[in-house]
Amino acid sequence: MSSPKSAYSIPTKKGKLDTHIFVVWVDNESGVLARVVGLFSGRGYNIESLAVAEVDATKNISRITIVTTGTPQVIDQIKLQLKKLVPVHKVADFKREDKNVIFKEMALLKIVAQKKKIEKCLKECKKFNPVILDKTNKSVVVQITALRREIDKMSKKLKPYGLTSTSRTGAIAMTRGAQTFK
Amino acid sequence: MSKLYTGAEIVFKYLEDQEVEYIFGYPGGAVLPIYDELKNHSSIKHILVRHEQGAGHAAEGYARSSGKPGVVLVTSGPGATNVVTALTDAYMDSIPLVCISGQVPTHLIGTDAFQECDTTGITRPCTKHNWLVKDIKELPKVMHEAFKVATTGRPGPVLIDIPKDIQFAKTNYTKFKKEKKLNGKIHNKFSENEINQLIDLISKAKKPVVYTGGGVINSGPQASETLKEFVRLIGFPITSTLQGLGAFPGDDNQFIGMLGMHGTYEANNAMHDCDLLINIGARFDDRITGKIDEFSPKSKKVHIDIDPSSINKIIKVDLAIVGDVNEVIKSAIKKINKKQNGLKDSNKQRISKWWEQIQKWRTKDSLGFINSDKEIKPQHAVKRLYELTKNQDTFITTEVGQHQMWAAQHYKFNKPNRWMTSGGLGTMGYGLPAAVGVQIAHPDKLVIDIAGEASVLMTIQEMSTAVQYNLPIKIFILNNQYMGMVRQWQELLHEKNYSESYSEALPDFVKLAEAYGCKGIKADNPDELDDKIKEMIDYDGPVIFDCHVDPNENCFPMIPSGKPHNQMILGPSDKEENKITGKGKSLV
């Protein structure tokens, strides 16, 4: 609520929030990430996760994947505002529930524990394509790929077994099937 | 081998290509190479302001009154930060500006060098786009693209930050012939089907209203002509936002006045009761809509705008047409003339009851005020100014506050590009430098800044610019010794606690005028007002007119807080309802 004595209208009731994944193709130039992120913070939009890297070195194109929440009206605004930025080429927007899109996030988990506990951890990780990147007597670094919420769950679950450090990439997305987003 | 040019030369080459005639600027260490080059380009005249904010507003005034982009040249650090207000102002009101700022040499960037600041970082949220040119080879492309971004689609300000070593470095000059497509940032592809839907809605409406905004002005003078033709053809009542004034003749019978917080009774009631609302180039600003939930509850809404992100941002609409205003209404007119020959007559019949209702609202005379023969009423002053200047092509700028609203209410504009006011950002101190820019663009026209004594003091130093370039601008100050709009809100919302809104220790404006080398006129009696206004108009040179008005006058009508459009306060003759209570207080 804004203060009762203000020159502006009081907020109306908020609509239901949806989670959306935006994929934004941008010119890989200095400041472009600041423009995109600044748009979000400046207009009060949410960023739950952000992943960005160059995907086409000859055309100099980077692909930014942003997970955000908002009312349908806000989601619409985000898309239209992103499209207005000069270095933005195209913008795709997917609902999290969209079955035609693959969402994946990678995490590195460091577990420091007794051998037994480590074994247990690795067992738990099994369904998330675990790759052991480093192993000592007392520790292991394992890489998993999964959905955001699966990784959330795993971090919670593995805490008691000695999970000491987690590093996550943020979600990235790709459509299923032969077609690509134009 | 082709000739190599320095960065500074490249800057001017491209300004010449864009046929830039004036630059508004202020020199400093990091732009000296560009200033050094100025002497070699006689077609470009530099206007030296007294503060970089003034340069920005002057360029805005120039752009708004001429339709050409305004060009600003400032130095690094404080030069750039001073221009931020003007850039934000231009961004909010969609004014094309190209601002060139100097920067410390590239090897010093990031070292907290003297007069260094992160200019592109600071101006990123208040420009359409900006560039830091770190490689001389980039400069030609950037200079070219900057004008394109500023002037196309929904116009706006851009900034080019050029480090000093880049201004010295050399590169090739290539003339850009064909316009490069800008990532599809320009939207002007509306479909025939959308036009058909629009006409269908028009032909069915019984209580329609056309609501126009600054987009019509930005679409060019032709758009105003097309709008006139369109509105006369369909016979609908038309209202306008603050920024759209002048697109449709203010003294025309179909024009029902400005809408919004201080709009007319008839315009706001029409907005509330209508069954079809056609928004042309406006953006449902919060000063227009009032309470969103109760905004125009019974209407089908159409929104014509060049910026897709304006659509459904605040108000959900039933039909959105994304395109240039002029093009859209031109094709609508074509369609109407071709297909529905009978529309004109049948329309007039169908909406005749609606017009009767509007006439009833009109009889409320919501812009009325109680005149006095002892004190000058501010509304009366604006009305007299209008009557005494309406026979010549007059350009009006304003500051921000009560005087701005009175000017919008009582000065009638018949042509576009004659009205320059800071609407979106509401920048006090806008009007005086804007008048400088307008006068530069129209040296032989009458340019008046309708000002308040508080606002004008924020950029009063630009009088010196006006004197330097012999710009006969008239600063018409409605002096009520208060920050009037602040005082009005304090009166209505904060139990008359006039906290810090009294203009203490005001200068003697007549002496101030004389100190700057221009003419000062003072009026405090209604009897002498006309003669003094005439004296101001006839004087060939800049004038500061200190018009002492009733300090307690408030600006009405007003949509009180928490109320929809159809519940307005109508000023002193409507005292009963003249109270804002309870939850309403939050909404003024």
Question: B573 or B96, which is more confident?
Answer: B96
Containing A65, the helix (H) or strand (E) segment is strand A61-70
Residue type, B430: Y
pLDDT of residue B380: 98
Order of strands across the sheet that contains A88-95: A49-56, A61-70, A18-27, A88-95
Chain centroid to CA B564:
25
CB atoms within 10 A of CB A167: 11
User: What does the pLDDT read at residue B585?
Assistant: 47
Average pLDDT on B458-476 reads 98
Closest CA in chain A for residue B181: A86
A96 three-class SS: coil
Residues of A in contact with B312 (CB under 8 A): 73, 76-77
Using the structure block, give the residue that is written with the tokens 């006090």: B428
Separation CA B4–CA B293 (nearest Å): 61
Distance of CA A68 to the CA centre of its chain: 8
pLDDT digits (tens, 9 = 90+) for B117-138: 999 999 999 999 999 999 999 9
Q: Between B125, B183, B585, which is nearest A4 by CB?
A: B585
**Running DSSP on this structure, what letter comes out for residue A94?**
E
Nearest Cα of chain A lies from the Cα of B389 at a distance, in angstroms, of 35
**pLDDT category, B180, cuts 50, 70, 90?**
low
Structural contact between residues B280 and B190, judged by C-beta atoms closer than 8 angstroms: no
Task: Determine contact, residues B239/B358, Cβ cutoff 8 Å.
Answer: no
In the numeric block, which tokens belong to residue B40? 């070699």
Taking an 8 Å cut-off on Cβ atoms, the answer to whether B583 and A34 are in contact is no
List the beta bridge partners of residue B543.
B474, B519
B191: exposed, middle or buried (C-beta count within 10 Å: 0-12, 13-18, 19+)?
exposed
- CA gap B121, B130 in Å, rounded: 9
Query: Cβ–Cβ of B129/A12 closer than 8 Å?
Result: no
Mutation target among A2, A3, A5 for the B interface, most CBs of B within 10 A:
A5
Calculate the average pLDDT of chain B.
93
pLDDT tens digits, residue range B302-314?
Answer: 999 999 999 999 9
Cβ pair B505, B483 in contact under 8 A: no
Q: B587 or B525: which carries more pLDDT confidence?
A: B525
| Rounded average pLDDT over B341-351 | 71
- Min mean pLDDT across A4-13, B403-412, B539-548 is at A4-13
At residue B288, does pLDDT exceed 60? yes
- Active-site residue list of B: 52, 114-115, 164, 485
Which residue in B121, B182, B293 is closest to A86 by CB distance? B182
pLDDT for B471 beyond 50 = yes
Nearest Cβ partner for B309 among A8, A80, A89: A80
Instruction: Tell which residue, B329, B289, B281, has the closest CA to residue B307.
Output: B281
pLDDT score, position B530: 98
CA of B349: how far to CAs of B200, B237, B266, B355, in Å? 16, 14, 20, 10
SS (H, E, C) B302-329: EEEECCHHHCCCCCCCCEEEECCHHHHH
Neighbours of A20 (CB within 10 A): 22
Kindly report whether the peptide bond that precedes residue A87 is cis, defined as omega within 30 degrees of 0. Answer: no
Tens of pLDDT, residues A93-115: 999 999 999 999 999 999 999 99
Please tell me the predicted confidence (pLDDT) of residue B264.
Answer: 96
Three-class SS of residue A182?
Answer: coil
Reported as type and span, the H/E element at residue B199 is: helix B192-204
Q: What pLDDT does B400 receive?
A: 98
For testing contact with chain A, the best of B126, B128, B289, B587 (most A CBs within 10 A): B587
Q: Strand ranges (DSSP E) for B411-552?
A: 419-420, 446-452, 474-479, 519-523, 543-548
Question: Which residues of B fall within a CB distance of 8 Å from A30?
Answer: 132, 134
The per-residue pLDDT for A127 is 92
Asked whether the beta carbons of residue B183 and residue A3 sit closer than 8 angstroms, the reply is: no
pLDDT at residue B588 tops 50: no
State ipTM.
0.90
Q: Which among B183, B119, B120, B118 is positioned nearest to B148, based on CA atoms?
A: B183
Q: How far apart are CA A132 and CA B295, in angstroms?
A: 60
At residue B576, the pLDDT reads: 47
In the stretch 68-127 of chain A, residues with CB closer than 8 A to chain B read: 73, 76-77, 80-81, 83-89
Q: Which residues contact B476 (CB under 8 A, 6 or more apart)?
A: B381, B385, B448, B449, B450, B451, B536, B545, B547
Enumerate residues 16 to 55 of chain A having a beta carbon within 8 A of any beta carbon in chain B: 30-31, 34-35, 38, 42
Q: Report which of B311, B319, B338, B313 is spatially closest to residue B276, judged by C-alpha positions.
A: B319
**Token representation of residue B170:** 């050399």
Percent of chain B with pLDDT over 70: 94
User: Are B549 and B383 in contact, with CB atoms under 8 Å apart?
Assistant: no
CA distance B498 to B488: 9
pLDDT greater than 80 at residue B183? no
User: A34–B121: do the CB atoms touch at under 8 Å?
Assistant: yes
**Interface contact A9-B128, CB threshold 8 A:** no
What span, in angstroms and rounded, lies between the C-alpha atoms of A16 and B362?
42
Among B382-386, B491-495, B534-538, the range scoring the smallest mean pLDDT is B491-495
Distance from CA of A141 to the nearest CA of B (A): 37
Alpha helix segments (H runs only) across B303-445: 325-339, 343-350, 352-362, 378-389, 402-410, 431-441
Q: Which residues in chain A have their CB less than 8 angstroms from residue B290's CB? A: 9
> Above pLDDT 70, what percent of chain A?
95
Give residue A7's pLDDT band: very low, low, confident or very high (50, 70, 90). low
Q: What pLDDT is stored for residue A119 in this prediction?
A: 92
Task: Return the residue of A nearest to B154 by Cα.
Answer: A84
Best to test chain B binding among A80, A89, A93 (most B CBs inside 10 Å): A80
Write the pLDDT tens digit of every residue in B216-274: 999 999 999 999 999 999 999 999 999 999 999 999 999 999 999 999 999 999 999 99
Supply the pLDDT for residue B145.
94
Distance from CA of A85 to the nearest CA of B (A): 7
Mean pLDDT across the stretch A69-77?
94
Contact A38 B313 (CB under 8 A): no
* Mean pLDDT, rounded, for B472-497: 94
**Does B588 sit within 8 Å of A88, measured CB to CB?**
no
Distance between start and end Cα atoms, chain B: 66
Q: Do A9 and B149 touch (CB under 8 A)?
A: no
The Cα of A142 is separated from the nearest Cα of chain B by a number of Å equal to: 39
Structure confidence at residue B406 as a pLDDT band (50, 70, 90): very high
How confident is the model at residue B568, as a pLDDT?
87
pLDDT at B342: 55
B522 pLDDT above the threshold of 90: yes
Can you give the length of chain A in residues? 182
Contacts made by residues B493-498, CB under 8 angstroms, sequence distance 24+? B493/A5, B493/B561, B493/B580, B493/B585, B493/B588, B494/A5
| Of B187 and B258, more confident | B258
Among A3, A12, A86, beta carbon nearest to B293: A12
pLDDT of B432 over the 90 cut: yes
Angle between helix B378-389 and B526-538 (nearest 10) = 40
Overall average pLDDT of the A28-35 stretch: 94
Residue contact B588–A7, C-beta within 8 A: yes
Q: Which residues of A touch B494 (CB under 8 A)?
A: 5
**Can you tell me the distance from the alpha carbon of B242 to that of B528, in angstroms, rounded to the nearest whole number?**
31
Chain-chain contact of B286 with A5 (C-beta, under 8 angstroms): no
Q: Which residue of A has its CA nearest to B308?
A: A80
pLDDT over 90 (residue A6): no
CB B63 within 8 A of CB B35: no
* Cross-strand pairs, B238: B210, B255
How far is it, in rounded angstroms, from Cα B385 to Cα B476?
A: 9
Residue listed under structure tokens 């009206």:
A73
* Rounded Cα gap, residues B230 and B227, in angstroms: 5
User: Distance between CA B159 and CA B505 in Å, rounded?
Assistant: 38
Of A3, A8, A89, which has the smallest distance from its Cβ to B286's Cβ? A8
Q: Does A136 contact chain B (CB < 8 Å)?
A: no
Helical packing angle, A72-84 and A32-42, nearest 10°: 150
Q: For residue B436, give Cα distances in angstroms to A17, B18, B463.
A: 49, 22, 9
Å from B307 to nearest chain A CA? 9
What is the per-residue pLDDT for B565? 87
Size of interface A-B (CB pairs under 8 A): 65
Interface mutation vs chain B, best among A59, A74, A84, A88, most B CBs within 10 Å: A84
Could you give the CA distance from residue A130 to residue A117 in angstroms, rounded to a whole number?
16
Query: Mind listing the pLDDT tens digit for each residue in B357-388?
Result: 999 999 999 999 999 999 999 999 999 999 99
Tokens of A123: 């067992």
Q: Are strands B519-523 and A139-146 parallel, antiparallel or unpaired?
A: unpaired
Residue B6 banded pLDDT, cuts 50, 70, 90 = very high
At B178 the pLDDT is 56
